[in-house]
Amino acid sequence: MLELDTAPLRVEQRGGLGVLTLDTPKSLNALSLETIRALDAALRRWADDPQVACVLLQSSSDKAFCAGGDVRGLREACLADKGPAPNASALQFFGEEYRLDHRIHTYAKPIVVWGGGIVMGGGVGLLAGASHRVVSETSR
């Protein structure tokens, strides 16, 4: 089993299954730019890997799959933006988030998303584009 620890995201390969686990339970797995980039990098790497037949995207917590974008972090980044493009951080964040959503929507391999617990905003974006979506009585 291949396992990479990329902070907010755990990346594992279990046989033919690529497993992506959102792992920032204190923020209800709110999407940071770091998380978005780590998700995108793993999906790009596995797209052409014949050893990975399917991808599972899940949460490390039963409380939330993903509560959306990290609005606190985004606000801080926007407040720090100076110069002719005062919203550069927001443009970068949403541009990369929507490119990730597009990658999920158009991914050639099956993506299964386990959407238990809270699923809001950017979490819905991750869930909606998957080829297979699993929700339960705890999903909200």
Query: Quick one: three-class SS letters along the chain?
Result: CEEEEECCEEEEEECCEEEEEECCHHHCCCECHHHHHHHHHHHHHHHCCCCCCEEEEEECCCCEEECCECHHHHHHHHHHCCCCCCCHHHHHHHHHHHHHHHHHHHCCCCEEEECCCEECCHHHHHHHCCCEEECCCCCC
- Over residues 65-119, the pLDDT tens digits come to 999 999 999 999 888 887 777 789 999 999 999 999 999 999 999 999 999 999 9
Give me the CATH topology for the region 2-134: 2-enoyl-CoA Hydratase; Chain A, domain 1 (3.90.226)
According to the model, what pLDDT value does residue 82 have? 79
| Beta-ladder partners of 66 | 119
**CA-atom Rg of the chain in angstroms:** 15
pLDDT above 60: residue 22: yes
pLDDT at 6: 53
Neighbours of 104 (CB within 10 A): 22
How many angstroms separate the first and last alpha carbons of the chain?
A: 32
- How confident is the model over 20-26, as a mean pLDDT? 97
Are 83 and 89 a contacting pair, CB within 8 Å?
Answer: no
